[in-house]
Amino acid sequence: MAFTQLLLIFLGGGLGATTRFILSTFVNTKTANPDTVNFPWGILSCNLIGCLLIGATYGWLKSHHPEWIHPLFVTGLFGGFTTFSSFALDTQILIQNQAYLTAAIYSIGTLILGLLLCATGFFITSQL
């Protein structure tokens, strides 16, 4: 593995994680309800946007393949922007708070919508 690839992944990952923190904090602040267990809209937003963008980037890479794009954007930026571990923690917190239906909707919705958005992004850009 070349040093350049590692540097691109490092830069993209840092930017992605920072962007995830900013967006998820903003969304959670706007959707917070002090009277209920809050649905994790922030991480859901990041994961779904990331699925669309990673699918679109992958579709675009099929026909345009600069070597620096994949490590910077796919592995780095979108890998840092989306997060399975935060998704898992949010689901665990919902379960601990006995919000079982919300946990199920969040888990199933994240999986189905994530796959659909990734496929949509791929389809759109692979047709260009």
79 known ligand binder:
yes
Torsion angle, CA of 1/87/44/110, rounded to 10 degrees?
90
Check whether 91 is labelled as a binding-site residue: no
E runs forming strands in 25-105: none
- Residue of 26, 7, 3 lying closest to 15 (CA atoms): 7
CA distance 46 to 21: 9
Please enumerate, by residue number, every residue annotated as part of a binding site.
79, 82
Q: Which residues are annotated as a binding site for Na(+)?
A: 79, 82
